[in-house]
Amino acid sequence: MREAKKTIILGVTGSIAAYKSCEIITALAKDSVDVHVLLTKEAGQFITPLTLQTLSHNKVITDMFELPTEWNPVHTALADKAELVLIAPASANIIGKLANGICDDILSCVIFATKAPVLIAPAMNEKMYKHKVVQENITKLKKIGYNFIGPIKGSLACGCVDIGHLAEIKDIVNEAKRLLSAFANNEQTDRSLRRATRRRLSTRMPKYTKAG
C-alpha cells in the first residue's frame, strides 16, 4: 500500500536567505511531502508567492484575512493539517514573536494553533544572532520544546563570514524528515493507547439487560 503524503507547513520569513526556501520545497517534494507555504509580508520582498506556489503545487498564503474558500478559518485548518511546521529561513523577528506570544500574522497564528512539532532554521546577521535578546528568545523556545537547526558559520549578506548563515539544505530536510516520522510514531502510539483504554473500559462496564 502507498504511504499517505506527509504535510509540512513551510514558513518563509524576511531574510536574504528566503530564496533558499525554493530548494527546501524541491527536496521535500521529491520525498513526497505535501508542502504548504506561509510567506510573511516582509518575505514577499525577497521572493514571490508565484515562485513558491509553482514549486509547492499549493496556494501560498500571506494574508490571514483573505476570505477563506472553506467555512473554517485558514489558520486553524492549516494548523490541524500540519505534521510539522518548518520555518526556514527564520528571522530574528519571528523568533522574538514566538518567544513572546505575539500572533499578528498567519505564520505566528498557525504555530500557536498546531500540535505538530516546530523546526526553526534561523538566518541572520551575526550581530543580530549573538544579541542577548535573540539568544534568550532561542533558549526560551528550546526549553518549551521548539526544535532548532543552525545557523552555521558561512557567508552573510554583509559580506563577512560568520555565524548566522542558514543551515545546509540537506541537514534541514533530514531533520524535518526525522521530526515528521517521530510525530507519526507518537500519533500512532496515542491512537493505540486510546483504543486500548476504550477496550479496557468497555469490558469493565456493567452489562445492562432489559428488565422484564
Q: Which stretch binds ligand FMN (CB under 6 A): 10-18, 25-33, 64-72, 195-203?
A: 10-18
Q: Does 91 bind ligand FMN (CB under 6 A)?
A: yes
The closest alpha carbon to 176, from 1, 10, 64, 2, belongs to 10
CB of 156 to ligand FMN, least distance (A): 8
Helices (H), the chain: 21-30, 49-56, 74-81, 92-99, 106-113, 126-130, 132-143, 169-204
Q: According to CB under 6 A, which one of 22, 23, 26, 42 is a site residue for ligand FMN?
A: 42
Check binding of 15 to ligand FMN (CB under 6 A): yes
Count of residues touching ligand FMN (by CB under 6 A): 16
Give residue 148's Cα distance to chain centre: 11
Alpha carbons within 13 angstroms on the beta-carbon side of residue 199 total: 6
CB of 12 to ligand FMN, least distance (A): 8
43: contact with ligand FMN by CB under 6 A: yes
Whether 109 is a known active-site residue: answer: no
Among 14, 117, 150, 151, binds ligand FMN (CB under 6 A): 14
Hunting for cell 493507547 — which residue is that?
Answer: 193
Q: Does 110 contact ligand FMN by CB under 6 A?
A: no
Burial tier of 84 (Cβ tally within 10 Å: 0-12, 13-18, 19+): buried
Residues classed as catalytic: 158
